[in-house]
Amino acid sequence: MSRVPQYMHRVAGWEVTNTGLTANKVEHLEAPRADLEQKLTRFKGLSAQHAALTTSKQEIAKEMQGLFREVETLVAFIRTGIRQHFGKDSEKLIEFGLQPFRGFKTKAPEPEAPKPSRPTAS
């Protein structure tokens, strides 16, 4: 479903003004009316071109999105193959932009905080 741009109601108003001037032949406004008609035609042409480019842009974006997913899947497959070939802890993985497995980091035990002493009842 095509969305009508918000400015098109203004364009319709311009057309009504042009139609009224054409029908009533106001002599001292004939030159501006001709200019308005020329600019209206140009604006409509640009609007149609904009709509066509927007549609094309949407189609390209959709194709890019699908291709992106395909490439991500392919790269994940290739990276898994690289890890299998060289080993998950090989430093050679760095050349492929992969992080070698270097063991799990262990947290140093936190020192126990002294327990607050309870005041005794006297």
For residue 116, give the DSSP letter. P
pLDDT for 24 beyond 80: yes
Residue 1 is predicted with a pLDDT of 44
Q: Which pTM value belongs to this model?
A: 0.56
For residue 97, give the DSSP letter. T
- pLDDT confidence of 4, banded at 50, 70, 90? low
pLDDT for 119 beyond 80: no
pLDDT tens for 28-87 read 999 999 999 999 999 999 999 999 999 999 999 999 999 999 999 999 999 999 999 999
| Distance separating the N- and C-terminal Cα atoms of the chain | 83
- Sorted by where each begins, the domain ranges of the chain are 8-96
